[in-house]
């Protein structure tokens, strides 16, 4: 199946209520499972990754025999559950999709083992599936590369107050995605657990998660700023835009909220309103664009495609984690932008560059490589060219199930075809 996209007016007006953040939702779910006091999570994400995590956590306390839990393609769930299952009595098998079995997890497993966990690789060394025998972890001090996925670090932090001796995480080198780490620490603080930055390390003493004392307390998840990035791209590539997105907070815990600053370069003005933002189209800057995405790698694809669509030469770095996402996102960008006669150079494993940018109509359908962000990042190019065709559009369910319906509400015409 494929979707053929077009937009007859190229003008974007109206409003949507944005999908909730799966990053916040997934962290809240792990904290909820570790907290002895019950509380409700409001506005929880309907993303496939979060739905599967909810289902797994509901059944995870069953210790009859060795149960197997399948996260599918959900990287965050794989990392968070590896740590969580290490603290939970009983033995469990944790597995995922074929792509998940190719995504390394050895660094996290080694870190957990050094804290007292019992984990085995059941197939390929360093990769899922995992056999995890839960126990009381002693904790202590460990050293970890700062440029690893922030999901590894957040997985360790979320369980850190449960460790007998607490946790001291020392980072070697530059720290990648610090805003995601700070999001985790801020959410832990919401539940009375406090971690402390000390130079290039974080320490968390043994503590207990507690909800706030109000009898009707609930945790409300913010809208997803990474999902908002596609609407910024739509505004930038449109001829005119005056569009409202409800459900976003400012300031936000999410590092991807930086998208509002990035897109000012591409002629998108952000007005912060009550419970949301208003996007309007202004003038695009006529110059080369460079940016380090080490703090916000999830929006790099979207910004690259926006720049390509506007004819803006660009150089992005800080992208090393994109090699181990749902697909190799650097190679995927190179492959699919080539269909628009855009020559993407990959100087190394952490950067991409486009020097001479003159975009042309696509020569073929857009492959998504089982990656939700590939589908959503390329969709706005329907404002530049008629009948953009995107293969396997169903992949968006991983993070933004309502994406195509939201596009229709903004005037996009979407036709299902065989491809």
Residue pLDDT, tens place only, 296-346: 999 999 999 999 999 999 999 999 888 877 789 999 999 999 999 999 999
Task: List C-alpha distances in Å: 233 to 78, 143, 277.
Answer: 30, 39, 15
Exposure b/e, 55-82, CB count within 10 A at least 16 = b? ebbeebeeeeeeeebbbebbbbbbbbbb
Whether 298 is catalytic: yes
What are the structural domain ranges in the chain?
Answer: 2-20+223-417, 22-219
Are the C-beta atoms of residues 61 and 69 closer than 8 Å to each other? no
Domains 2-20+223-417 and 22-219 equal at CATH topology level: yes
pLDDT score recorded for residue 80: 98
Q: Which of 57, 66, 61 is nearest to 26 (CA)?
A: 57
- Which residue in 298, 348, 370, 406 is the catalytic one? 298
Give the single-character DSSP code of 20. B
pLDDT score recorded for residue 193: 98
Domain 22-219 bears CATH identifier 3.65.10.10: yes
Query: Chain centroid to CA 215: how far?
Result: 32
C-alpha to C-alpha distance for 195 and 97, rounded to whole angstroms: 33
**Could you read off the pLDDT tens digit of each residue along the chain, which spans 419 residues?**
999 999 999 999 999 999 999 999 999 999 999 998 999 999 999 999 999 999 999 988 766 778 999 999 999 999 999 999 999 999 999 999 999 999 999 999 999 999 999 999 999 999 999 999 999 999 999 999 988 889 999 999 999 999 999 999 999 988 888 999 999 999 999 999 999 999 999 999 999 999 988 888 999 999 999 999 999 999 999 999 999 999 999 999 999 999 999 999 999 999 999 999 999 999 998 899 999 999 999 999 999 999 999 999 999 999 988 887 778 999 999 999 999 999 999 999 899 999 988 899 999 999 999 999 999 999 999 999 988 999 999 999 999 999 999 999 999 999 999 87
Alpha helices in 35-92 (DSSP H): 48-59, 75-87
Q: Considering only CA atoms, give the Rg of the chain.
A: 21
- Exposed/middle/buried for residue 346 (C-beta within 10 Å: 0-12, 13-18, 19+): middle
Are the C-beta atoms of residues 337 and 329 closer than 8 Å to each other? no
Q: What is the pTM of this model?
A: 0.93
Element (H, E) at 183: helix 178-190
Exposure b/e, 291-308, CB count within 10 A at least 16 = b? bebbbbbbbbbbbbbbbb
Strand partners, 277: 245, 272
- CA 307, 310, 311: angle at the middle one, nearest 5? 85
pLDDT score recorded for residue 147: 87
Which superfamily does CATH assign the domain made up of 2-20+223-417 to? Enolpyruvate transferase domain (3.65.10.10)
Token readout for 115 is: 């804290």
């Amino acid at each position: 199946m494929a979707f053929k996209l077009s937009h007859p007016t190229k003008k974007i007006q109206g409003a949507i209520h944005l999908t909730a953040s799966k990053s916040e939702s997934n962290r809240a779910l792990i904290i909820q499972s570790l907290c002895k006091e019950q509380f409700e999570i409001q506005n929880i994400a309907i993303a496939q990754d979060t739905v599967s995590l909810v289902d797994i956590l509901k059944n995870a306390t069953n210790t009859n025999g060795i149960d197997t839990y399948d996260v599918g393609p959900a990287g965050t769930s794989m990392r968070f559950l590896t740590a969580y299952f290490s603290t939970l009595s009983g033995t469990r098998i944790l597995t995922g999709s074929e792509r998940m079995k190719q995504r390394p997890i050895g660094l996290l497993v080694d870190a957990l083992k050094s804290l007292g966990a019992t984990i085995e690789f059941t197939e390929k060394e360093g990769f899922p599936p995992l056999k995890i025998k839960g126990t009381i972890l002693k904790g202590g001090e460990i050293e970890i590369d700062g440029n690893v996925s922030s999901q590894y670090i957040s997985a360790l932090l979320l369980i850190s107050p449960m460790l007998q001796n607490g946790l001291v995480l020392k980072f070697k080198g530059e720290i990648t995605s610090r805003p995601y780490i700070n999001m985790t620490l801020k959410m832990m603080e919401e539940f009375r657990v406090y971690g402390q930055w000390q130079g290039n390390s974080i320490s968390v003493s043994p503590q207990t998660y507690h909800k706030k004392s109000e009898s009707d307390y609930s945790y409300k998840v913010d809208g997803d700023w990474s999902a908002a990035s596609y609407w910024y791209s739509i505004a930038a590539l449109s001829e005119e835009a005056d569009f409202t997105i409800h459900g976003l907070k400012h300031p936000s815990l999410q590092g991807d909220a930086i998208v509002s600053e990035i897109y000012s370069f591409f002629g998108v003005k952000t007005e912060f309103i009550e419970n949301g933002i208003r996007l309007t189209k202004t003038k695009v800057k006529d110059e080369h664009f460079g940016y380090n995405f080490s703090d916000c790698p999830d929006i790099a694809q979207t910004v690259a495609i926006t720049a390509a669509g506007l004819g803006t030469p660009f150089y992005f770095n800080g992208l090393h984690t994109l090699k181990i996402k749902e697909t190799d996102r650097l190679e995927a960008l190179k492959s699919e932008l080539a269909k628009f006669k855009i020559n993407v150079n990959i100087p190394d494993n952490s950067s991409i560059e486009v020097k001479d940018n003159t975009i042309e109509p696509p020569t073929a359908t857009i492959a998504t490589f089982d990656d939700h962000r590939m589908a959503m990042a390329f969709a706005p190019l329907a404002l530049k060219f008629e009948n953009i065709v995107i293969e396997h559009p169903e992949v968006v369910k991983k993070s933004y199930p309502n994406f195509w319906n939201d596009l229709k509400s903004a005037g996009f015409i979407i036709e299902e075809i065989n491809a």
